[in-house]
Amino acid sequence: MTMELELSQLIGWATGLLSIFVGIVTGLVKLLLGQFEKRLADRFAAQDAARQSASRHWEESFAKLLDRQDKEAETVKQLERAFMRFQADLPLEYVRREDWVRGQSVIEAKLDGLALKFENVLLKGARHD
């Protein structure tokens, strides 16, 4: 049994096998690219979810920080008001040592003057008696 192949049949067979091989390779490449794209899409979705979570976290942190800053600003304003009231009331309730000594000296000088006048009155009264 001899098998004879003509060149056109051999080329036809080779072309058929080659087209089958190219089809298989093309299918595998498409399958691999599809899986690659799916994994990239999953990875990007995970990164996007992580980014959104981090963004929410930072927004919450900044909101808390701004609230705390507002509360501290209000506290500072209240402290400034209290200090201003203290400064306004200070001269009314506080007497410096020098002021007290000066006031006391004036009172003592007036008392000494009165004592001298009483003494003069008493001496004049004793002379006339």
On the 0-12 / 13-18 / 19+ scale of CB atoms within 10 A, 72 is exposed
Distance CA 113, CA 121 (A): 12
Looking at residue 7, its amino acid is L
Quote the domain boundaries for residue 118. 96-129
Establish if 6 belongs to a structural domain.
Answer: no
- d(CA 73, CA 84) in angstroms, rounded, equals 16
State what percent of residues in the chain have pLDDT above 70.
96
Lowest mean pLDDT among 18-22, 33-37, 87-91: 87-91
Q: What average pLDDT score do residues 73-95 get?
A: 90
Report the domain count for the chain. Answer: 1
Q: Does 103 reside within a domain?
A: yes
Whether 51 is in a domain gets the answer no
Let me know if residue 109 belongs to a domain.
yes
Structural domain contains residue 91: no
- Per the prediction, the chain carries an average pLDDT of 89
Specify if 123 maps to a domain: yes
Is 102 part of a structural domain of the chain?
yes
Q: Which of 122, 53, 74 is nearest to 66 (CA)?
A: 74
Spacing of C-alpha 105 from chain mean position: 59
pTM over 0.75: no
